[in-house]
Structure 1
Amino acid sequence: MNTLAPDAADTPEVPADDAPPACVMTFNASDPSGAGGLAGDISTIAAMGAHALPVVTAIVLRDTAEVFESHEIESDVIVEQARSILEDITIAAWKVGFLGSAEGVAGVAEVLSDYPDVPLVAYLNDVSWLEEDDQQAYLDAFRELILPATEVLVGNQQTLIDALLPDWDGERPPSARELAVAAGELGAKYVLVTGISLPSTKGGEASVDNVLASPQGAITGEKFERFDTGFVGAGETLAAALASLLASGQDLHLAVSEALSFLDQALDAGFRPGMGNVVPDRFFWALPEGEEVEEGEGPPGEVLLEDPPAAERGPRRIH
């Protein structure tokens, strides 16, 4: 029996006032742990109310504790994945994660160059598990080809230092502004630095700072309480959340504040699915079934979210 496609006239029309969600194309690796990579990006982008367009750049073999190895996707295949959907769908933002290899970086940069007005949030992964030559080639390509197109570069403080100021020999770590200056010289407009250690208060409480900076100085940020638990996928979550908010038209400083707040709550509700690190719960806000809102607290039938269970407390290592 032949199956015929429906005529265009039979396709239901979307109401004019029912606009589709903003679309975010994410270039990242397949991560079987679901903590980061494309799985993490898709979860985060969906949680932020946007629609993910995932492009596979590599296959990473890892668990929730460590990365073992990766297998790159050919550059031409990466490009064709992106172009096939870009001819069909209008995107509102890019998110870049691990691109597999220097050749993969070049392929992604080729695609980005055709859409210079679309904001790009680039997350700089720690790629220390790559062979030394591959690691250097990857970082060189990332600096040369991705940073010139980047609106916001996101990364852990130490990862950014290693990539942007590898010869730093000061008695203190470089500030967020100094990292922004180094990134700005390579073309990036802003840097969102995570995991900046702060001295303990008189009460003994330790915290970490997360700062958005330009070459002119710090703009905004958020402090997190330091816990002893190690997290995996936190930086990816932050970058994907920020890209989603920029895609929706949010101003940068407000988008950063909201993305940091989202990450903080996702970490508080994080869970340990295996024997390794804690994974952020991007759907911490998902409402439990059967708990109706008290009268006057929300629309009829809306359910009320109780405080989510927090992960075993322990430092928030955003990596």
Structure 2
Amino acid sequence: MTAPPRVLTVAGSDSGGGAGIQADLKTMLALGTHGMSVVTAVTAQNSLGVQGFWALPAQAVRDQYRSVVDDIGVQAVKTGMLASAELVETVADLLAGTDAPAVVDPVGVSKHGDSLLAASALDSVRTKLLPVATVATPNLDEVAQLTGVEVTSEDGMRRAAAAVLAYGPKWVLIKGGHLRGDAVDLLTDGSEEHVLRAPRHDNRHTHGTGCTLASAIAAQLAKGQSVPRAVAAAKEYVTGAIAAGFALGGGIGPVDHGWRFREA
């Protein structure tokens, strides 16, 4: 039996199962790849918010990464919650030495507004992590946090993209999910541009959307897709997952990573 494409997620654990490592691995399985993980932090988290988190030592993150990459190998890497400047710089250094595309989701806050990245780590994200990204996938809050550019309409997304690209990623996907109207994202490398539009679903259960999208892009890249094709396929998958999102606990429920299995 031939092994499926291998994708590695470097991110935090979500005890509620809707985002983080758990969402990443579910997405990778749903898209026909073999998911592997490097845990950077442990969160106490449920549908109501993040009650606490504990970052792992940099050496633990480095050793997990080397253990997987040196033996099994990877065809794409996705990063999520990195928590501290030390972890950001550790992961950036590991990515720079890995011959595989890297999807960087510069996680700053949770769906509930809880901070997941130390303020002191922002400069490390800008100067160390973004330059090694094949695709960076910030939402509008993360764009503002990293660049100071505030986007209030679709017209402002190009300016946001230019501000992020200035830090060095090959491509940037500006996620416009926080705007009104259709769910519009802008993908660009500074010359080529793709606008991805999908109808907005009236469903509040969207926990894990960003993690899921970045993991879906990484899975498609691992299967050999170009960046534009990988992002388009990931957008389609996430749109279906949002439409099928379900209530869980007393707050915001997760997207449904297995929606295609249930449709079948």
- Which residue, 240, 250, 275 being the options, matches 2:225? 250
- Which residue, 244, 247, 251 being the options, matches 1:272? 247
Could you say what secondary structure the match of 1:34 adopts? coil
Distance 1:231 1:172 in 2: 21
Distance 1:20 1:170 in 2: 43
Identity over aligned pairs, percent = 29
Closer, same or farther in 2 for the Cα pair 1:227/1:209, shift >3 Å? same
- Which residue, 185, 195, 210 being the options, matches 2:176? 195
Could you say what secondary structure the match of 1:255 adopts? helix
Quote the residue 2:83 is aligned against.
Answer: 100
Question: Shift in Å at residue 110 of structure 1?
Answer: 2.0
- Which residue, 51, 56, 61 being the options, matches 2:34? 51
Distance 2:36 2:151 in 1: 42
Structure 1: state its 5+ residue gaps. Answer: 1-17, 200-205, 288-303, 306-319
In 2, are the aligned partners of 1:177 and 1:214 still within 8 Å (CA)? Answer: no
Describe the superposition over 1:61-98 as per-residue Cα deviations: whole angstroms up to 9, x where unpaired: 22112122211100011000111121211210010000
Question: Shift in Å at residue 156 of structure 1?
Answer: 1.5
Quote the residue 1:69 is aligned against.
Answer: 52
Q: Find out whether 1:180 has 2:161 as its counterpart.
A: yes
Question: Shift in Å at residue 236 of structure 1?
Answer: 0.5
Question: Shift in Å at residue 130 of structure 1?
Answer: 3.8
Closer, same or farther in 2 for the Cα pair 1:273/1:172, shift >3 Å? closer
In 2, are the aligned partners of 1:190 and 1:213 still within 8 Å (CA)? Answer: yes
Describe the superposition over 1:43-70 as per-residue Cα deviations: whole angstroms up to 9, x where unpaired: 0011111111100100112211212221
Question: Shift in Å at residue 187 of structure 1?
Answer: 0.8
Letter in 2 for 1:62: Q
Distance 1:49 1:196 in 2: 26
Distance 1:171 1:271 in 2: 28
Distance 1:228 1:280 in 2: 9
Closer, same or farther in 2 for the Cα pair 1:171/1:247, shift >3 Å? closer
Distance 2:183 2:221 in 1: 25
Q: Find out whether 1:163 has 2:138 as its counterpart.
A: no
Describe the superposition over 1:76-132 as per-residue Cα deviations: whole angstroms up to 9, x where unpaired: 1100011112121121001000012111112111211211x311101122336349x
Distance 2:107 2:19 in 1: 10
Alignment of 1:201-280 (within 5 A): 206-216=181-191, 218-227=193-202, 229-280=204-255
- Which residue, 101, 125, 148 being the options, matches 2:107? 125
Letter in 2 for 1:103: E
In 1, are the aligned partners of 2:49 and 2:114 still within 8 Å (CA)? Answer: no
The structure carrying a bigger helix percent of its residues is: 2
Structure 2: state its 5+ residue gaps. Answer: none
The alignment's TM-score, normalised by the length of structure 2, stands at 0.91
Question: Greater CA radius of gyration, 1 or 2?
Answer: 1
